[in-house]
Structures are given as C-alpha cells and as structure tokens.
C-alpha cells in the first residue's frame, strides 16, 4: 500500500508539474473538466448505488456546463448559470422522481453534487485564470498534497489518538498535526521558490488555513463514503481509491485560496493577481 | 375557501402596493429577510418532519446571512459567501450527522434549502437594488400573482384535464393556459402603467416566460410537499397555506426577471436598470 503510493507519486508529481507550468490554459481547463465529470460520476454513484437513474447523466452534464462557464465566462455568467441550474435541476427531479417521498432528498443531492464537485473544484479553473495562475495552481496543489502526505505518514508512524472514529477510523490527531506542519512548510517553500509576491504573514496564514481546510475537506468526503458504505469513492487509481478520494482536500483548499486572493486584492495589499 | 382568498387579497394587495412603492429599501429588505427565515423554517420542517435537529437553526441562520449579504454586499461577497456556505454546511452536517447513511441526503437538503429559499427568493432584494427597483419588484409580483390567480380561477371554472395528477392533483391544463393568459395581460398592464422602458417584445416575452416559470415553481414546491405528505407548507395564512405556498412561483420568477434584465443590459438594449 505505502510502496504503491510512492510509485504513483513518482509518476504523477513530475507529470503534474509539467502540465501546470508549460501547457496552455485550455488544456488545463479540459483536464479539470474531465476531473469534474468523473468526480460527479463517483458522487452520484455513491448516492444512487448502482440504480440506473436519469438524474446521473443530467447532473454530470450540468457539471460540464458549469466547468465550461467557469472557463470562459465572467462573474455574471456564473451567477446566472448557478441560479438557472438550481431551478432546472429541482425541476428535472420533479419530472423524474419515481418516489415522491425521496424527491426532496434526490433533488437536493442532484443540486449539491454540481455545487460540491463542479462549483468548488472548478475554482482550480478560476485560479488558473488569475494573473500568474500557473503558480497559484501549483501552490495550492503543493500545500494540499503536502498536508495529505504529512497526515498519512505521521499518522502511520506516530498515530495514537483517533480523530474521527466513526467516519474515518484511520485518521489520528498526530496525523492531523503532522499534516498541518507539512502544509505550513510547503507554503513557505512555495513562497520562496516561485511565489515571492505573498508576504510572510500570507505564507503562514495560507499554510495553516489551507492545511486545516484540506483535512476538513477530507473528512467531509469521508462522510459521503461512509453513508454509501464504501471505502473508496471508486477504484480508479491503484491504492489511492477514486478521484474524489484524491481531490477531496483540494475541493476545499482551491476555493479558499481563490477567495483569499480576491479579498486581499480588494483591500489593496500588494499581491499581483 | 374562494371567498376567504378574496378577503386576504383585499387586505394584502393594497398593503403590498404601499410597502413596495413608498417604504425605504431597507424595510423591504427586512421583510424579504423575514420571509426567507420563515420559508427556510417551513422547508426544513417538511424534510425533517418534527425531528428536533440542530441543522434547522443552522440552515436558517445561513439563510439570514445570505439575505444580509444580498442586501448590502457586491457580487464578490455573494460568490465568496455562497462558496463558503456550501463548504460550511456540509461540514456542519459531518459534525452533526447521527446516522451516516443519511448524512449525504441531510447535508444536501441543508445546502439546497439555503440556495432554494434564500438564494432564489433573495433575488427580490437584488431586483429592489436595481435602478427603479420598486417598479421592477411590483412588476414581478403583479405578473406572478396574476398567473397564480388566473390558474386558480380558470382551473376552477373550466378545468377538465389533469396537469400533474400525482404531485398536484388540483392543477389542470385549462388552469395553466388561463394563468399564462393572465400573466401576459399583467405584463402589458405593467408596461403601460409604470414600466414604459421595456419594449413590446420584452413585455410579451416576460409575460410568457414568467408565466410559465411561475407555474413550474409552483409544481416544484408541490414535489417537496408531496414528499413530506403535507397539503400546505404550514398553516400561516388562512386558506392560503404556508409562506412557501404563497411564494413558490416568485421563487422562480424573481431570479428570472433579474437575470433577464442583467443580460439585456449587457447587450446594450435601452432599458434603464
């Protein structure tokens, strides 16, 4: 298990560095869109558990439309699309519902899937569209994966006290602390390596903030899996589980970094975005 | 029943005209916010059916925060809040979930309630904040209520063919057509009375579009009630049911009018908003 993880990392990390730094933005947008479609497939799969439901392709299509709008549209387009999708998806559920006692829950899951997977993970596209976006995307990946990896290995080596015994029995308090430490370290590494425009306070704040949010994102996704009675969201990547298992932390950290940058820009701090 | 509806209308319509036209915006915002809080109370009440759940006050508070942000914030604040609320509410559900098999559905309903009631109905606040917003709010109320009333009375007098026998057995095709006719008539009345800046094509398009969306909004809410096994969302107003029963059409028409206006302004059509 541990060794297989290392092999996957050896393949993916350099590949990823190349993808983020040297490929044109639209290829990055396509990759994120692919991830969103796959992530929604897993999300609805966990809820509908093998039932063949028309909601699944409709929700995935809505996620694709959201990714496209995030890639090429402006703020007004996002708001109009988001508003339209909430109405349209609830209406779709009204038309498709087989069992009215489940209509409200099914419609809500249909809407929430699009917001959770496409809306939150789609912030990677928004980050890439900012000035110097390739560095921002690389920064959020670096800090998030450092946190995940730090939590995994320090939990394995030092873990004693369970963090969330019911939903995620393998997580420990020691792992959480180790993950947070590595997130902060990665944030300072990112600042000194390729993101000099952020201040020391930003690097510390982002290391702590993204470190905590990444772990909370991981716990939130584990609730979905626990509800579905599965260990992994799918069997996509050997020893890493499904796509959602790999990006559950990013789903929380990418939006957090984007909105942090937007607001510090608002208040005239000298970061170039 | 019919007579009681007329009495309620006699009290509410002039009161409403006064409220919309002559009161300062912030009182209108407060009234809409009150409606949002009450609407969320009904929405979660239909889903949790009498269970005492901490999710209910938390979801209602989130709706209040959304209403406040719509009242005073700009586009960036709405996006940041919406993104933060999706993350925070799923996390809240992770912490509160008693039964993990329901966690995903409960979390999704928590999120969707805020989007459906506060996000959609909150467009009344956004409409009021546009230039000439008091007329726009009055217009959307007029067209929507004309559609509701037209559907009710023409369905009562002429109704033969059931429109949606399972979810809403009282609705008929004849009622839907009568409602649409009265929406279009109300739209032209609005244009000639107090909204001369919209074109004849706008008046026709808005009459038809809002007329249809209002009825779809009504059907969507009836799915929620049917799932909960209740006839009215609550017993707030004599013979009119709960608050959501009264505003279910507005929940779809207010956002539609707002986004229509935003987009025709974008394309340089001469409407003053």
For residue range A78-120, list pLDDT tens digits in order.
999 999 999 999 999 988 887 777 889 999 999 999 999 999 9
Which one has a higher pLDDT value, B259 or A154? B259
Q: Are B135 and B195 in contact (CB under 8 A)?
A: yes
How high does pLDDT run on average in chain A?
Answer: 88
Q: Is residue A266 scored above 80 in pLDDT?
A: no
Strand intervals (E) in B53-183:
162-164, 168-172
Q: Are B187 and B203 in contact (CB under 8 A)?
A: yes
Strand intervals (E) in chain A:
162-164, 168-172
Q: What is the pLDDT of residue A226?
A: 81
Which one has a higher pLDDT value, A13 or A129? A129
Residues of A in contact with B109 (CB under 8 A): 104-105, 108
Gap between the Cα atoms of B24 and A79, Å rounded: 27
Question: Token pair for residue B39?
Answer: 């609407």
Residues of B in contact with A104 (CB under 8 A): 46-47, 109, 223-224, 227-228
ipTM: 0.91
Q: What is the pLDDT of residue A179?
A: 93
Question: Token pair for residue B247?
Answer: 């505003």
CB pairs below 8 Å between A and B: how many? 152
Nearby residues of A51 by Cβ (< 8 Å), 6 or more positions away: none
Q: What is the pLDDT of residue A273?
A: 45
Gap between the Cα atoms of B51 and B190, Å rounded: 44
| Nearest residue in chain B measured CA to CA from A116 | B86
Q: Is residue B108 scored above 80 in pLDDT?
A: yes
Q: Which of A102, A224, A252 shows the shortest C-beta gap to B87?
A: A252
Q: Output the CA–CA distances (angstroms, integers) from residue A109 to A113, A122, B14, B105, B109, in the order listed.
A: 6, 18, 40, 6, 7
Which one has a higher pLDDT value, B245 or A231? B245
Average pLDDT over residues A202-209: 97
| CA angle (B96, B98, B102) in 5-degree steps | 100
Q: What is the pLDDT of residue B1?
A: 45
Separation in Å, CA of A6 to nearest CA in chain B: 30
Residues of A in contact with B263 (CB under 8 A): 76, 80
User: How many residues can be counted in chain A?
Assistant: 273
CA B163 to chain centroid, in Å, comes to: 21
Separation in Å, CA of B116 to nearest CA in chain A: 7
Gap between the Cα atoms of B70 and B72, Å rounded: 6
Gap between the Cα atoms of B167 and B222, Å rounded: 6
What does the radius of gyration of chain B's CA atoms come to, in whole angstroms? 19
**Which of B90, B118, B214, B249 has the highest number of chain A CBs within 10 A, making it the mutation to test binding with A?**
B90
Which one has a higher pLDDT value, B237 or A197? A197
Q: What is the pLDDT of residue B80?
A: 95
Gap between the Cα atoms of A173 and A155, Å rounded: 8
Coil vs helix vs strand at B28: helix
The band of A20, judged by pLDDT with boundaries at 50, 70 and 90, is confident
The band of A240, judged by pLDDT with boundaries at 50, 70 and 90, is low
Separation in Å, CA of A221 to nearest CA in chain B: 9
Question: Token pair for residue B197?
Answer: 């800046």
| Nearest residue in chain A measured CA to CA from B80 | A259
Q: What is the pLDDT of residue B12?
A: 72
**Which of B55, B74, B115, B261 has the highest number of chain A CBs within 10 A, making it the mutation to test binding with A?**
B115
Q: What is the pLDDT of residue A13?
A: 67
Per-residue pLDDT of B143-197, as tens digits, reads 999 999 888 888 888 878 888 777 677 788 899 999 999 999 999 999 998 899 8
B79/A75 Cβ within 8 A: yes
- The whole model's pTM is what? 0.91
Which one has a higher pLDDT value, A9 or A119? A119
Which one has a higher pLDDT value, A266 or B221? B221
Closest CA to A224 of A32, A45, A11: A45
Gap between the Cα atoms of B128 and A193, Å rounded: 49
B86/A166 Cβ within 8 A: no
Q: Is residue A197 scored above 80 in pLDDT?
A: yes
Question: Token pair for residue A273?
Answer: 């975005």
Q: Which of A75, A115, A224 shows the shortest C-beta gap to B111?
A: A115
B223/A104 Cβ within 8 A: yes
Q: Is residue B270 scored above 60 in pLDDT?
A: no
Lowest-confidence pick of A36-40, A131-135, B40-44, B177-181: A131-135
Gap between the Cα atoms of B94 and A215, Å rounded: 13
Closest CA to A152 of A177, A132, A129, A131: A177
Q: What is the pLDDT of residue A2?
A: 59
Question: Token pair for residue B166?
Answer: 């399972």
Question: Token pair for residue A25?
Answer: 């933005």
How high does pLDDT run on average in chain B?
Answer: 88
Gap between the Cα atoms of A81 and A92, Å rounded: 16
Lowest-confidence pick of A130-144, B163-177, B183-197, B214-228: B163-177
Q: What is the pLDDT of residue A118?
A: 98
Gap between the Cα atoms of B90 and B98, Å rounded: 14
Q: Is residue A58 scored above 70 in pLDDT?
A: yes
A94/B223 Cβ within 8 A: yes
Residues of A in contact with B228 (CB under 8 A): 104
**Which of A110, A213, A220, A252 has the highest number of chain B CBs within 10 A, making it the mutation to test binding with B?**
A220
């Amino acid at each position: 298990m541990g060794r297989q993880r290392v092999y996957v990392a050896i393949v993916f990390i350099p590949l990823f560095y190349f993808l983020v730094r040297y490929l044109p933005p639209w290829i990055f947008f396509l990759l994120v869109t692919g991830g969103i479609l796959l992530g929604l497939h897993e999300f609805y799969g966990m809820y509908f558990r093998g039932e063949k439901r028309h909601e699944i392709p409709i929700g995935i299509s809505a996620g694709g439309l959201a990714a496209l709008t995030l890639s090429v549209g402006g703020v007004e387009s996002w708001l109009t699309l988001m508003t339209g999708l909430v109405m349209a998806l609830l209406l779709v559920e009204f038309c498709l519902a087989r069992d009215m006692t489940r209509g409200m829950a099914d419609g809500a899951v249909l809407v929430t899937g699009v917001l959770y997977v496409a809306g939150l993970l789609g912030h990677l596209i928004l980050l890439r569209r900012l000035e110097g976006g390739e560095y921002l995307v690389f920064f959020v990946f670096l800090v998030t994966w450092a946190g995940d990896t730090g939590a995994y290995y320090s939990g394995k080596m030092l873990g004693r006290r369970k963090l969330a015994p019911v939903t995620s029995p393998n997580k420990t308090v020691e792992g959480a602390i180790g993950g947070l430490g590595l997130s902060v370290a990665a944030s300072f590494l990112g600042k000194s390596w390729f993101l000099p425009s952020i201040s020391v306070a930003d690097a510390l704040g982002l290391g702590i903030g993204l470190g905590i949010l990444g772990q909370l994102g991981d716990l939130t996704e584990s609730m979905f899996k626990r509800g579905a009675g599965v260990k992994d969201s799918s069997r996509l990547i050997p020893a890493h589980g499904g796509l959602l298992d790999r990006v559950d932390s990013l789903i929380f950290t990418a939006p957090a970094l984007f909105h942090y940058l937007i607001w510090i820009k608002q208040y005239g701090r000298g970061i170039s975005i």
